[in-house]
């Protein structure tokens, strides 16, 4: 029961601006994500996907409604608890890799490890991600795919309960995108982290356990996918 309601989103509303400029971005969202699921958030540009991800990640606040993780509502946490929570339990992967330019690959991944009480083994992660032989390189000596792998390494080394990915393949070519999606899939299978992934790419829904389709700040569809397609077999 606890696992089924692992991540609970309830009555979530968010608007930006005021008066005539007020835009209601999230207009009352309700859904739950089971522990260990890959959940893909789809929807047109402006439908509120990143806003939702930022609220789940504690980067932004909702106007009303709540997010609960294992029954704990993030709105009830004080700033210190929330910061601790973000550090220990959430991993972020963005379209822009946000690596630290003067640290090498291994050191960038270690940054993630320092934030956690129970980090995974850095060398293991580097090997899983195919980065071990590149571990002494600086970010500017890496391809886009290798940089994205490093940012996944930094997020996953914390062994976060939830891996939040915002367009993780947005800046990558077809082949590299599929490799990155396969890594996310491997990491999900190996470590059992729950994955929430925002994407524009409709094909990615096929590798998900759950697909949430947003339109105009509302949930249009909440689909449980019984027959998943492995990332490497996705086609677009
Ligand atoms: N900080 C902000 N201030 C004002 N408006 C914002 C802010 N953040 C987002 N918005 C607006 O909220 C709406 C939803 O944005 P959001 O980035 O969540 O959409 P999205 O579905 O992720 O879009 P995309 O696919 O283009 O990234 C947009 O109209 C955007 O302009």
Q: Whose CA is nearest to atom 6 of ligand 1?
A: 16
Instruction: Determine contact, residues 121/109, Cβ cutoff 8 Å.
Output: no
Full set of structural domains in the chain with CATH: 36-63+80-227 (3.40.50.300)
ipTM entry: 0.95
pLDDT digits (tens, 9 = 90+) for 67-87: 999 999 998 999 999 888 888
- Is the pLDDT at 232 greater than 90, yes or no? yes
Q: Whose CA is nearest to atom 30 of ligand 1?
A: 46
pLDDT digits (tens, 9 = 90+) for 146-184: 998 999 999 989 889 999 999 888 888 898 889 889 989
pLDDT digits (tens, 9 = 90+) for 112-141: 898 888 888 999 889 888 899 999 999 999
The predicted model gives 37-51 an average pLDDT of 94
114 lines ligand 1 (CB under 6 A): no
- Is the pLDDT at 2 greater than 80, yes or no? no
pTM score, whole prediction = 0.91
Q: Using the mean position of ligand 1's atoms as its centre, give its distance from the Cα of residue 216 in Å.
A: 11
């Amino acid at each position: 029961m606890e696992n089924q309601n692992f991540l609970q989103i309830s009555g979530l509303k968010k608007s930006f601006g005021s008066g005539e400029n007020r835009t209601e971005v999230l207009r009352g969202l309700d859904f739950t994500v089971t522990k260990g699921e890959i959940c893909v958030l789809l929807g047109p540009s402006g439908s509120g996907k990143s806003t939702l991800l930022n609220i789940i990640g504690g980067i932004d606040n909702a106007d009303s409604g709540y997010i609960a993780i294992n029954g704990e509502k993030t709105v009830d946490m004080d700033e210190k608890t929330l910061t601790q929570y973000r550090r220990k339990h959430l991993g972020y992967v963005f379209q822009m890799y946000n690596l630290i330019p003067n640290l090498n690959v291994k050191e960038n991944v270690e940054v993630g490890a320092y934030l956690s009480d129970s980090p995974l083994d850095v060398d293991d992660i580097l090997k899983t991600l195919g980065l071990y032989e590149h571990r002494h390189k600086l970010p500017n000596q890496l391809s886009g795919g290798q940089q994205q792998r490093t940012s996944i390494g930094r997020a996953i080394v914390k062994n976060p309960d939830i891996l939040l990915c915002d367009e993780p393949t947005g800046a990558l070519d077809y082949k590299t995108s599929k490799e990155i999606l396969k890594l996310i899939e491997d990491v999900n299978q190996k470590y059992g982290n729950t994955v929430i992934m925002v994407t524009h790419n409709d094909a990615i829904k096929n590798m998900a356990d759950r697909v949430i389709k947003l339109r105009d700040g509302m949930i249009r569809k909440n689909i449980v996918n019984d027959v998943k397609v492995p990332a490497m077999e996705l086609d677009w």
